[in-house]
Structure 1
Amino acid sequence: MGMSWAWRGVLLYLALFLIHFPFVLPKFFPLLINDQNLLLYNLKPVQFRDGSTVRIIGEVVSFSQGPRFACGFFCNQSSDRYLLSIFILFYKDFEIQDTIGPQVVWSANQTNPVSINATVFSSSDEGLVVQEADGTIVWATNINSEYISALNLTDTGNLQLLGENASTVWQSFDHPSDSLLLGQKLSVGQKLSSAASATYQIERGLFSLSLDIDGLFAFRQSNEGPERYYHHDSFSTSYVQFMNGSFSFFTVDDKLFGPHKDFLIPSALSSWQYMRFESDGHLRVYEWKQQSLEWKEVADLLTADIGNCGYPTVCDGYGICTNGKCSCPEPKNDKRYFKQINDSQPGRGCSLVTPLSCEASLNQNFLENFLELKNITSVTFRQDLVVDSESCKEACLKNCLCKAAIFQKYTWSSFVGDCYLPSQNFSLKHAEVNDSYTSTTYIKVQNVPRAVPSPEQKNHGKKINHFIIIVGSGVASLFGLFILIGIFFHLFWKNKDYDETEEYYLDHVPGMPTRYSFTDLQVMTENFKKNIGGGGFGTVFEGTLIDGTKVAVKRLHGINQIKKSFLAEVETIGSIHHFNLVKLIGFCAQSSHRLLVYLYMSNGSLDKWIFHKTDGFTLDWHKRKKIILDIAKGLTYLHEDCSKKIAHLDVKPENILLDENFNAKVADFGLSKLIDRDQSQVVTIMRGTPGYLAPEWLSSVITEKVDVYSFGVVLLEILCGRRHFDRSQPEAAMHLLGFFKEKLQKKQLWDLVDKYSEDMQLHGAEVVDMMKVAAWCLQSDFTKRPSMSVVVKVLEGVVDVEENIEYNFCNPPISNPRARVMYHEVNVGSATALLDSVLSGPR
């Protein structure tokens, strides 16, 4: 019997409905969650030509070509860490086009990215949860719902958790990250937070855009707290909404204030737009252009009000913005106080020719002065004091951290005005013509006037001259004295030239971190009060930034040796960024002082957790596995993902730091060496720590595989819970590598598993399997060792360990296993000059 006309009509209606109203249904979406704990594993990755990768959990189905929302894990080209994200992909013939990169419009775990093996699951206690491979929960919606029926992605890009009767119990639209989609609201109390940079989205940046009842505010975070650079005043605002063609303000009763309160967007009213608050503080709108198949910026919303010069980092430190162009303060009285940090990039800002010194101001032969700039003000001016201009300058002079006195005098007063005393580098701009006040900036600079001889010195000189006239033989003695003085001044100026060269070099290193004065660091560390570690030629102190952030300040000693290592460390880690590398916040290069400021790692260095059994420091197997993988990822980034290969050359437990969550970060780049991509190996002198040195160091011809060898030693130490050389062990077991070889041959590796850890013993089989990775890394022939990226794949279970492994491990002799070697360079021909380090030890 045929189908009735009624049923045919129903089916036809459903077909038309599905065509005109696309709904969420990927390979599985909306996802029904009946067991309240359904794991969503990453699906097959999609790689794009811009270097990014996505692992799609679900996508919006559409029968048309063009952009489409999807949800899953996202990783960009600057990292191997993943974010749970919503992104827009471009489809053609129902296939994702890898030529057009994903546009990320929402991220869940921006401050805590995860590895490739992370999962997502639902929980009645916490809602949607992102979990690391080791079981650590890194992000959750934190909702309590007895019943979660489905996970749904709407065709507007809103990710929803649905409860009973398909009610929404949580949605991503209520938790914006750095972007807004069409129809999405930013309510009072919510904010957008910029990413760290346009290419590095796995970390929050300095800028935030927030809404309160008085309007929309944009801030830049600094050591002094939030600095406001934009305010759109709108009384009793309830929310702002991104609408097609505008960004509009609404009151509590959802009434639009009026067209004059809108940000109007000059657009063709495309249905594919998104708004992003970006790493430079701009709020930009992007629109899909079907004709050119690209995302194009169609509006820069805040600029209409504050202009191109209204952004805090437009010209960076000390730079003056004029009509969107940057310049340094002009010389005064033929004295040049400032220079461009990068001549080809004026927006990088300016630096002082002579750095400020609080100590110098206390010396009568030095004079601190101000460079006066009329009609110039700070982009982020705020009122610190209400005083006259002289009192404003005096307050700055008394504060070593103060960089300038920026004064705005009221026109109705003969002398009183607002005084702003910034303590860090700032961007300047020409002050707007205003009937209420005039602006003047007094930048603190340092001069070195000629010394005036004292009366005693003058009298002494007269006596010498009189003596020379009377006694002709004194001419020879005086001539000899002049020669000695000449030699002294030659040496003095040579050293001064070296310092100036170093100062100039540091100011031109790309991506430089914050530069601090020595006085700044004295304040941060309470005059270097709390010693938290040290070794070699340096000491590490605990400090605190103005915003409360804890830091570790590494102070280098031994001025004759440290300059090159200091340059190596600043140049290497100052220009790179990875989750598993220690973050360099700033540095100090002033007079003989050389200091480095790092983000504080609350759990210290790895050595105390695997060697100091009596102090109560223990690590379970899961933490050790994670630490091993973190170290491997950090080294992989250095070897393969930087523009130049970076060989660390001193990988050891003391140089692995652990944060509060036991995330491992590779530290101490004082011995590191940059290797061009077209170089297979380099010739250099031996450097590193005995016991961790690869055999090929004896030939001085090395590759990045020396780090792989050192990693193998560290891996073995972590698994065995002991140092590579331990005098407390029986004589046959003192040298770990020799003992390891013996146990391998006897197939008794279980005997090496850390016997002080019950958890390690329980997972002994897994530990023994990982020892094979160590054996592979310890091959005497460096060509047979794996790359660090292969090691990562092995640890993640993607690749198997090489079967053809030789167990003839060897190591250069260990005269003092706790020392750090720095042999002199001999006959290296055209090899790259060595940058030796003289600092070792824990943080």
Structure 2
Amino acid sequence: MGMCCFLYLIYLLCSLFDPINAEKFDYPIANVSTTWTNSLALEHSVNFTDGSSVRAILLRGATGFYGPSFACGFYCNGNCSSFHFAVFIVYTNSGSRITNPNLGFPQLVWSANPNKPVKENSTLDLTKGGLALRDADGVLVWSTNITGSNIVGLNMTETGNLVLYDSKNYTLWQSFDDPTDALVPGQKLVLGKSLTAMANKAGDNSFALSVTNTGLFASINSDPPQFYYQEEVTGTKNSTKPSYVRFRNGSLALFILSAEPNKPDSVISTPLASSMQYMKLESDGHLKVYEWSDLSGWIVVADLLTGILAECGYPLVCGNYGICSNGQCSCPGPLGTGGDDNTTFRQLSARQPSLGCSRITPLSCEDTKYHRLVDLNDIMYFYSPPDITRTDIGSCKNACLTNCSCEAALFQYGSNSSDGDCYLPTQVFSLVNNVKEETHYNSSAFIKVQVSPVIPSSSPSSDPKFKTAGTATIVGSSVGATVGVSLLVFVILFLIRKKKNVEEEDDEEYLDLVPGMPTRFAYEDLKLATNNFSTQLGQGGFGSVYEGALINGTKIAVKCLDGLGQVKKSFLAEVETIGSVHHVNLVRLVGFCVDKTHRLLVYEYMCNGSLEKWIFPKTEEHILDWKTRQSIISDIAKGLTYLHEQCRQKIVHLDIKPQNILLDANFNAKVSDFGLSKLIERDGGEVMTTMRGTPGYMAPEWLSSVITEKVDVYSFGIVVMEIVCGRKNLDRSQPEERMHLLRLLKEDKGCNIIDKNSDDMLLHREETTEMMKVAAWCLQSDFARRPSMSVVVKVLEGVMEVEPSLDYNFSSGITPMTTAKDLDKQVQFRDSTPLLPSLLSGPR
């Protein structure tokens, strides 16, 4: 009894003298119709000596006398001119008060708006439809976008999960499903989700940790991504593929889906942590586990991604082009001997060598004849792609020199340099000194640089001997010059003719030198793989597609390009461009074939075929539910966003339609047949071409001869309308007044034309009506009023809203009834109005 009184007295004294928020509070739950304003007026605001500040709106109190606890609210770190709505860990005492500001600084573990902070007086609204974060000017920054729901409350759980729930206590949304750069114990990282972190070095690089069907991977963004950590799961059966990883005590454990429906998922058991932990993907690419210590605060207890290369195995440890050796950074050396100054690279900062190196003379594709390679022996790279090319060291170097997009030739081999692995990256991060005793192979790096042309210091006419030449010499020189010129003209004409003949043969050889090219197949191998092209999957404007299977069992789709006259040009364009384009919502080019007159492309096989058969179904088994349709629309939008705004060279598809949207086994949608059309340079250069596309999906501006990427946005709007309505834009089987879907959208604004063959669609009328507004926005007659595809993605994710004042007086675009005279014209490509940074920097 005496001990209890003593502890209670201590508690009262702490309450009286705790300078930080002495009022008791423990408020883990909030009800709907609540609004919080981000200001000092919030009751539970705490400033910390490290410069951070929290304004808690929900707190799950400590389970013990003192300890770390989860809270959510507004968080800032620095001058606090901008805030994030976040979940953070704070230190509390037994009265559930945030305390101990000199040691227990807040630790951010989730943020709703990591890339778009809000200002003072921003607001967070909790309604029946979910959470909505608005900046001080009222602009919507982020929302949970749960339409058609009936939310009753918000809960900050003991495990750090922020949950929206309904009257039956069913979870409708949770922060655990959308991690940012951290995980807390018990939280999953599932397929399709990633931890991301911006790099701390200059530039726009970022790191990502993600789960795929083959394992756990950490990468740095490039095109394609370069991996610096790979934990692959062997085997091909479903029972051996990872479903997700979960944060357990000090580690990530790969969970394997059980093949038996009632059997729990399998995972290696790990002991429970002795104190609060969280895991964070850092700005240097490290994945560190932090644990609370009562004596030291937050300490690092594990660094999970560090492998055999130790610190040098991280992509930006020494910045771009920097060479890492035992943690020390240096730049590539000189080009060679024979010049007064043959230095090729310099450090960005002499005081901070880890910031990396830059070329003294920038590379120029206009002067490729002055490209040279700096030879770096016993230098390796952190990344080796799985589909790397086997060749000799000379061919590897030549392949880089003959293609401007190649930045370096990285060669790795055993004892014989005539047989090794050649990797030609288009972006080079940190290099590594190769310790052969540890790696057990040889390696060399050849970094491309630009050398200056040699300019003679004086002309021959300044030589005194030249000035004393006699008249006979001048006459002789004139005759000689005439003969020389004639001979030169003859040689030039001969070489031009020979070059023209040789170029036809070199086209095929050139394809082997394209960096990062997919696999090259022999025609006979593809003929065998497709059983002599017996099973046709479809046919389009560029050729027929056949089903096939490689020797290892991998299913493929083989496209045979038709029409030899145009095939070579379109084939080269697609192989060179698409071979380097990688995105989860774009159909992947596996390989190609060049064999005499045969031109074939080998794509990944999409087992559920084209979208067309699923949205215009003939049987009930092909009818899609609303959630699947919604996901497909989002996938298409993300694929087009990548083509329009994130490729090195903008790609406008020009033929978006259901037949060119393919579905995999999980109904993930991928855009196909991109890269076959003209490419538009980012600098707004104009290209002339003829009209192309599919009537019914072509924007009205095709008739005005001014084309931008907004033609894809229009086609996307038609496809969205067809997906939601479950019928074609032009359906001649309908009565005349209902034949044109666009006309029906104009009349009732999408309220009564959704697919009535699906009961599930009828249950989501509010959401489908909102989706039809997205379609209407994309179908604006004035292309300048249509959104960019990145804006469409933000609308679909709920972080932006549809333009409120839409014009429903749609132009019908190019239909099958459009006259041949209208179609017989050339068109002029132009880049649309450049996107403002604010449109591209929101949360993704």
TM-score by length of 2: 0.50
State how 1:226-305 maps to structure 2 within 5 Å.
Answer: 275=303, 277=305, 284=311
Letter in 2 for 1:600: Y
Residue aligning to 2:782: 781
Letter in 1 for 2:674: F
**Is this contact kept in 1: 2:411–2:420, CA < 8 A?**
no
Residue aligning to 2:109: 71
Can you list the C-alpha shifts for 1:466-523, whole angstroms capped at 9, x where unaligned? xxxxxxxxxxxxxxxxxxxxxxx999984662352464267336x5333333344345
Letter in 1 for 2:519: T
Task: Please say if 1:195 is aligned against 2:225.
Answer: no
State how 1:486-565 maps to structure 2 within 5 Å.
Answer: 494=500, 497-498=503-504, 500-501=506-507, 503-504=509-510, 507-508=513-514, 511-545=516-550, 548-565=553-570
State how 1:560-579 maps to structure 2 within 5 Å.
Answer: 560-579=565-584
Letter in 1 for 2:384: T
Task: Please say if 1:345 is aligned against 2:407.
Answer: yes
Can you list the C-alpha shifts for 1:281-328, whole angstroms capped at 9, x where unaligned? 9554689x9xx9xx9978589xxxx975598839952455xxxxx643
**1:619 Cα deviation (Å)?**
0.9
Can you list the C-alpha shifts for 1:759-815, whole angstroms capped at 9, x where unaligned? 223433433343232222212211122222232333334433334333332235534
Residue aligning to 1:727: 732
**Is this contact kept in 2: 1:733–1:739, CA < 8 A?**
yes
SS at match of 2:651: strand
**Is this contact kept in 2: 1:29–1:59, CA < 8 A?**
no
Task: Please say if 1:659 is aligned against 2:664.
Answer: yes
Letter in 2 for 1:199: N
Distance 1:826 1:140, change over 3 A: closer
SS at match of 1:72: strand
Task: Please say if 1:328 is aligned against 2:386.
Answer: no
Distance 1:758 1:495, change over 3 A: farther
Residue aligning to 1:700: 705
Task: Please say if 1:736 is aligned against 2:773.
Answer: no
Cα distance between partner residues in 2 of 1:579 and 1:44: 33
Letter in 2 for 1:328: S
Distance 1:345 1:201, change over 3 A: closer
Cα distance between partner residues in 1 of 2:546 and 2:77: 44
**1:695 Cα deviation (Å)?**
1.1
Residue aligning to 1:676: 681
Cα distance between partner residues in 1 of 2:735 and 2:188: 62
Residue aligning to 1:263: none
Cα distance between partner residues in 1 of 2:659 and 2:537: 13
SS at match of 1:791: helix
SS at match of 2:679: strand
Letter in 1 for 2:598: H
Cα distance between partner residues in 1 of 2:90 and 2:71: 18
Residue aligning to 2:764: 763
Can you list the C-alpha shifts for 1:642-697, whole angstroms capped at 9, x where unaligned? 33332211111111112222222222114434333342976542111111111111
Residue aligning to 1:395: none
State how 1:143-162 maps to structure 2 within 5 Å.
Answer: 159-161=184-186
Cα distance between partner residues in 2 of 1:160 and 1:431: 37
Residue aligning to 1:811: 812
Cα distance between partner residues in 2 of 1:515 and 1:32: 61
SS at match of 1:773: helix
Correspondence for 2:389 among 317, 321, 341: 317
Can you list the C-alpha shifts for 1:823-842, whole angstroms capped at 9, x where unaligned? 787596999xxxxxxxxxxx
SS at match of 1:660: coil
SS at match of 1:779: coil
Cα distance between partner residues in 2 of 1:710 and 1:195: 35
**Is this contact kept in 1: 2:632–2:669, CA < 8 A?**
yes
Letter in 1 for 2:625: D
Task: Please say if 1:588 is aligned against 2:589.
Answer: no
Cα distance between partner residues in 2 of 1:297 and 1:271: 27
SS at match of 1:594: strand
Letter in 2 for 1:195: F
Can you list the C-alpha shifts for 1:320-372, whole angstroms capped at 9, x where unaligned? 5xxxxx64379xxxxx999866696342669xxxxxxxxxxxxxxxxxxxxx9
5+ residue gaps, structure 1? 34-39, 81-114, 142-152, 162-169, 180-190, 211-218, 223-238, 243-269, 321-325, 331-335, 351-371, 381-429, 440-488, 832-843
**Is this contact kept in 1: 2:547–2:555, CA < 8 A?**
yes
**Is this contact kept in 2: 1:42–1:73, CA < 8 A?**
no
Can you list the C-alpha shifts for 1:587-634, whole angstroms capped at 9, x where unaligned? 333432322232222221111001132373111122212212222222
Distance 1:69 1:44, change over 3 A: closer
Letter in 1 for 2:812: N
Cα distance between partner residues in 2 of 1:707 and 1:750: 25
Residue aligning to 1:228: none
**Is this contact kept in 2: 1:628–1:715, CA < 8 A?**
yes
5+ residue gaps, structure 2? 21-47, 64-69, 92-99, 117-142, 197-212, 237-248, 253-297, 329-376, 422-433, 443-494, 832-844
**Is this contact kept in 2: 1:209–1:277, CA < 8 A?**
no
Task: Provide the aligned C-alpha RMSD in A.
Answer: 6.6
Residue aligning to 1:753: 754
Cα distance between partner residues in 2 of 1:619 and 1:739: 22
Cα distance between partner residues in 2 of 1:593 and 1:503: 14
SS at match of 2:781: coil
**Is this contact kept in 2: 1:513–1:587, CA < 8 A?**
yes
SS at match of 1:619: coil
Residue aligning to 1:477: none
Letter in 2 for 1:317: T
Letter in 2 for 1:347: A
Distance 1:684 1:535, change over 3 A: closer
Can you list the C-alpha shifts for 1:158-181, whole angstroms capped at 9, x where unaligned? 8324xxxxxxxx999xxxx999xx
Task: Please say if 1:713 is aligned against 2:715.
Answer: no
Cα distance between partner residues in 2 of 1:725 and 1:683: 30
**Is this contact kept in 1: 2:530–2:549, CA < 8 A?**
yes
Distance 1:42 1:504, change over 3 A: farther
Cα distance between partner residues in 2 of 1:499 and 1:138: 59
SS at match of 1:534: strand
Larger displacement relative to structure 2 (644-653 or 554-563): 554-563
Can you list the C-alpha shifts for 1:547-606, whole angstroms capped at 9, x where unaligned? 544332222222222233323333443333332222223333343232223222222111
Cα distance between partner residues in 2 of 1:654 and 1:507: 33
**1:702 Cα deviation (Å)?**
0.9
Cα distance between partner residues in 2 of 1:770 and 1:10: 56
Residue aligning to 1:57: 87
Distance 1:8 1:674, change over 3 A: farther
State how 1:61-100 maps to structure 2 within 5 Å.
Answer: 63=101, 70-72=108-110
Cα distance between partner residues in 1 of 2:380 and 2:664: 38
SS at match of 2:690: coil
